[in-house]
Structures are given as C-alpha cells and as structure tokens.
Structure 1
C-alpha cells in the first residue's frame, strides 16, 4: 500500500488530495514536526532534507510534492490528473506546476521562514514585507493565466492541486486576494470533496 509521510497543514496535503482524487488506497503517517521528528531517525533516512511529504510506493521513495503528484497521476490515473507525456497540454501542466512552487509559493515560504521556521537569530523581519509585495505581483500572473474554470481550461489537474493548496496557504496567512477571478477559482477548488477527505485524513492522524 502507498504510504504518505506528512503533517497536517503542510505540503503533504497536496499528496493526500491527489490520492483522494484518484481514489487510491494509502496510509497516512504523521511526522511530528513540532517535536523535530523530521530531523531524526527513522524519518531522516527517508528524506535527508528533513521535510515532508515523502511517498513510499513499493521500492520507490519520492520527495517533493510536485514530483509526487505527477508520479501518482502518471502511474495510477493516466490522463485524469496529469496530461499525457509529449502533449502540448502536458507542457502547459508542467509550466503551471513549476510556477506554483517556484513563483507563487516562494514568497509564502519566505514569510514562513522569517516568521517562525528559521532560528530566531536568522529571521529578518524586512523580508516579510518584501515577500508580501512579491506575492501580490505573482497573483496577477496567475489571474491572467486562468482562461477557464481550471488552470488548463475545463479539466481539473494536479496543477490545480499545487496552485489551490498554495492559495489556501496564502489565505491562512491572511494575505489580500481581491481578484474575483482568483476568489472564484479558490472557492471552486475548496469545494472539491477530495480536498475535504484529504484534510480529514490528515487531521485524524
């Protein structure tokens, strides 16, 4: 059975969401991040970076949420969550997946690091204001890219999981999102039953 190592309200939600969309069986294993469990054995042997999520599928140990959700789509639901390799739609899928984690998420992670994740002596409060500004600018790029109900048009994909989770993260940080287009998009994603099931699965661990 697929195993997912993660923690509630982290990027592991992306993986659980994808698995719920696919309908695959999996076991969610909570990694107690506040206690430092991700930096100790046995978890550190799975991911020397000490971060969640980690996916175990047979002999495969996979880290990085974009890689994991793409693997799950290709392996367990071809054409459902991830477009076929070699197609133009796959190229657009990869474009927006990379955008989610290199552009949209990056300012949020900067905020998190300088609010609580880094040792206090390493935090630079001025970085937070810069990241808030950068996030607002990046939202405009996403808004222009939305040409339908989902980022690839009419079809929901794992790219929407990556983008939707990141927007939920921004919402939790109480960042301003005033665009009706983006608010409608986030509402549409938030109402997906698979997301509710994934959240419940993590919360119950």
Structure 2
C-alpha cells in the first residue's frame, strides 16, 4: 500500500508520522499547512493531517492512527475484544477530555477571526485540562496506558502532553512526565520529531 501523509510535524500530523515511523513502512511526507491547495485537493475539510492510502483520503489523526494500526496489526488490540474496547475507551477519553480543550484554546488564540475570540475562556480550559490530566494520570496502568503494550491512545496522550506544554498549560503531574519520557525516548518518536 502506498501512503502519503499531508501536514507538518508541528500539527496533529505528528501523531500519524510517529506511528508510520514506529511501523517502519514506506511513506511520503508532504509538510503542508491546513487549508493549503494540496490539502484541499485531498480533503474538502482543509484540515491536517490527511493520509492518502492508495490515493484515497483519510482525514483526522485518530482515524488515521487506528486505520494504520489495524492495517498493520500493531499498536492495537484486535477488534471485537474487550482489550480493544478498553483501548477505544482511552482514545475517546483523551480526545474528549484533553484534545478538545487544547483545540478550543488554539481556536481562541489564533484560529478564529479576532472578533470571535474569547481569550478569557483559556483560563477555564486550562483548569479543566489540569483536573482531567490528573485523573488520567492516576489511571495509567504503566508503563503504557493499557500495561505492557503501547497502543494508539498512547500516541494521542503523549502528543496532547507536548501540545499542552507548548500552549503554556499547567505543568502535568510528575507521574505523567515519567510516562511521556518513556514514549519520547523511543527511536520512532525521535525520527518523527526531526521531520518538517
């Protein structure tokens, strides 16, 4: 299968870039921005990332991650198992309790037209994020979310941690820092981090 990943590593495109590196599959990376001509040709949403799999577009980082994991039988539990249900629950929890808050803060920082921005909302988002991350950290089985097996939601959670740091959200618990250090030490993470 031929893969092309659209999006710069400084966006949510980092997530599938990291997984592609973990899987050690051949792919082309086009470090283009949201709403660029290349992205709009692939997906009318205009958002990154977009994965072209045999020239068919798959938008959304979480969907791309799970597609790649399922396709290659790695970083995921099998569909229809209780373990997969628990994995999916983690994915949805991270997207709901962390990613959505970070995205809303970004929208009110630089994405929405200036008259539509409400900068004061960010204090509330940061407070809620900190509470959610504390509870999530308490539930990490260790060394990965579901124990000994690294899965898709580990990539999501680690990326949200880095995004929060860049967005100047509150410092995470020490146990969360330890968890992300383990993930950031992986060679695939380092290779993805070096991409444009």
The reply to whether residue 186 of structure 1 matches residue 187 of structure 2 is: no
Would the aligned equivalents of 1:177 and 1:183 in 2 still touch at CA under 8 Å?
Answer: no
What is the RMSD of the two structures over their aligned residues, measured on CA atoms?
A: 1.3
- How many residue pairs get aligned? The number is 195
Mapped partners of 1:191, 1:126: distance in 2: 36
What does residue 164 of structure 1 align with?
158
**Alignment map for 1:14-163 (pairs within 5 Å):** 14-31=15-32, 33=33, 38-76=34-72, 78=73, 80-163=74-157
Deviations 1:158-181 (A, max 9, x none): 110011101110111222234121
Mapped partners of 2:57, 2:106: distance in 1: 27
Which SS does the other structure have where 1:56 is aligned? Answer: strand
Which SS does the other structure have where 1:39 is aligned? Answer: coil
Which SS does the other structure have where 1:153 is aligned? Answer: coil
Would the aligned equivalents of 2:43 and 2:50 in 1 still touch at CA under 8 Å?
Answer: yes
Gaps of 5+ in 1: none
Deviations 1:16-46 (A, max 9, x none): 0011111111000021x3xxxx335342132
Which SS does the other structure have where 1:4 is aligned? Answer: strand
Q: 1:178 to 1:68 in 2, by over 3 A?
A: closer
> TM-score, structure 2 length as denominator?
0.94
Mapped partners of 1:177, 1:154: distance in 2: 26
Mapped partners of 2:75, 2:169: distance in 1: 28
* CA-CA distance at 1:101 after TM superposition: 1.4
What does residue 6 of structure 1 align with?
7
> TM-score, structure 1 length as denominator?
0.90
Deviations 1:113-155 (A, max 9, x none): 1111111111101111111111011112211211211001111
Mapped partners of 1:114, 1:59: distance in 2: 34
